[in-house]
Amino acid sequence: MGLNLHLYPSDIRFESRMLKATNSLASTGKFSEIHLIGILEPGLAEHERIDSIRSIWRVPLSKPLPIPKTRGLQRLLGWTAKILSRYRREDVSIVHCHSLEDLPIGVLLKLVHRRVRLVYDAHELETERNGLKGIRKVTAKLKERLLIRFVDHTLVVSDSIAAWYRQAYKRNAITVVRNMPSTNGWSRHDQPSSVFRDRFGINGGVVFLYQGALIRGRGIDLLLSAFSKVGKDKHIVLMGYGSYEPQVKQFAEKFSNIHFHEAVKPHEVMRYTAGADVGICLIENVCLSYYYSLPNKLFEYTLAGMPVIVSKFPEMLNFVAEFENGWDTTVQEESILNLIERIDRQDIEAKRRNCLKARESIGWSSEERKLLAAYAALV
C-alpha cells in the first residue's frame, strides 16, 4: 500500500496515542511509509525519523498577521495549505485524523485522491470538550456534522462516547480503542518505590498521587482543600503543570502533607507512579466529554499495581467495578475527605492485589487488535 498519514496540530513530542497507533500499524508491513504530521515549534527538528517506516514532519508556519482573534485560524489555514500542497500528488492510501481540528484536511485529501480512506480518531468527545462554548461550540458541532459523512471509520476512546456518536450521526463504523499504555516495562514497577518519600521526607503514612494537567475540571481545588483538613499521615503529591500550579505550590508551603512535583518526561512516569500508594483520578462534570471519559492515567496506576480513586462517572465506575481495584466518590469535598480518611493500609493492600491481577487483561495489546481490525476493514 501507499502512504498512511496521521494528522495532529501539535509538535508531536508527547502524543502517546498517535505514537502507539502508528507503531502498531508499522508492524503490519502494509504501508510503504507512515508520516506523522504536526506543527513546527522552536527548538525542534522539522523532519525526524522514528524508524524505517515512520517519520515526523513538523510543518513550519509563517508568523500570523496582527489581526485580532484570528491567530489560530491563520495557523490552521497555513497548515492545511502546506499539507495539501505536499501530498496532493502522493500515493496516499489512508488519512488518519486525530482531532476534529484536522478533519477538514483529511476530507480535502480524500476529495483530491478519491480512493483515499479516511479515519477519524476522536481522542475525546470532540464537540463537548472542556472550555468549548459559545460560537466556537456551535461551529465545532456544525463542522463535525458536515464532515463526518466523509469518514470511513471512526475511532473513540470509550463505550459511552461510541454510543453518543452512533446516536448523534447514525453511524455504525465505530470502534472503541481505549487509550491504554503499552505494558512494556510496567512489570518492573509493581513494587512501591520510595521516590516521593525520599524527595519530600515522608516517614510512614499513605501517599496519594495526582498526576496530569493542573487545570480546571480536574478536582484540584477540592483535593487541596480536603488534604488540608485530613490527618497529617495522609499525604498527596500533585505532579504536573498547568494554571493551578501556583495555587498548589502555595498549599504545599502551608501544609506539610501537600507536595508539588514538577511534570516528568514520559519515559520516567512509570518510576514515579510507583512511588505512591493510591492514585487519584477525579474529573469534575464540567463537560460531557469529561463525564464519559476513561483517562489513560487509570490504566497507568493499575499497571503500576496502585489502586485508584475515581469520579462516580459511568466509564470510570465500570472500570473499578470490573477489577475491584479502587474506590469511587462524588466530586464533592465532604465525600472526598471522608473517603481519604477511611482508606487504610489493609484496604490498599486488598485493592493492590486486584490491580496486579487486572494487569493480565489490560494494556495496548488488546486495543491494538481492534485498531488493526478496523484498518483491515478499510482495505
**Mean pLDDT score, 189-196:** 73
**Mean pLDDT score, 72-85:** 90
DSSP sequence for 134-187: HHHHHHHHHHHHHHGGG-SEEEESSHHHHHHHHHHH----EEE---PPP-TTGG
pLDDT band at 229 (very low <50, low <70, confident <90, very high): very high
Report how far Cα 192 is from the mean position of its chain's Cα atoms. 24
H/E stretch holding 19: helix 16-27
User: What are the E-state strand segments in 8-46?
Assistant: 33-39
**106 pLDDT exceeds 70?**
yes
Report the relative pairing of strands 33-39 and 3-7 from DSSP bridges: parallel
% of residues, the chain, pLDDT over 90: 77
Contact status, residue 252 vs residue 218, Cβ threshold 8 Å:
no
- Which residue type, as a one-letter code, is found at position 241? Y
31-62 pLDDT, tens digit per residue, is 999 999 999 999 999 999 999 999 999 999 98
Helix, strand or coil for residue 17?
helix
Domain ranges, ordered by start, for the chain = 3-180+364-378, 186-358
- C-alpha 320/C-alpha 355 separation (Å) is 10
176-187 pLDDT, tens digit per residue, is 999 988 776 555
Q: Who wins on pLDDT, 2 or 335? A: 335
DSSP 8-state assignment for residue 14? S
**325 pLDDT exceeds 60?**
yes
- C-alpha 246/C-alpha 179 separation (Å) is 30
So what's the pLDDT on residue 372?
97
- Which residue type, as a one-letter code, is found at position 175? T
Q: Who wins on pLDDT, 269 or 308? A: 308
**130 pLDDT exceeds 90?**
no
So what's the pLDDT on residue 168?
95
Q: For the whole model, what pTM was predicted?
A: 0.88
Cell numbers found for residue 277: 500508594
**Mean pLDDT score, 186-206:** 79
- C-alpha 123/C-alpha 126 separation (Å) is 7
Contact status, residue 244 vs residue 278, Cβ threshold 8 Å:
no
DSSP 8-state assignment for residue 77? H
> Helices 364-378 and 16-27: crossing angle, nearest 10°?
60
**Mean pLDDT score, 261-268:** 84
- Which residue type, as a one-letter code, is found at position 203? N
Contact status, residue 12 vs residue 46, Cβ threshold 8 Å:
no
Domain covering 186-358 assigned CATH 2.70.160.11 in the classification: no
So what's the pLDDT on residue 159?
96
Q: Are 3-180+364-378 and 186-358 equal in CATH topology?
A: yes
**In terms of Cα–Cα distance, which of 40, 4, 10 is closest to 22?**
4
So what's the pLDDT on residue 184?
65
Give the other-Cβ count within 10 Å of 321's Cβ.
11
Instruction: Write the class of the CATH domain 3-180+364-378.
Output: alpha beta
So what's the pLDDT on residue 291?
96
Cell numbers found for residue 149: 459523512
Contact status, residue 6 vs residue 36, Cβ threshold 8 Å:
yes
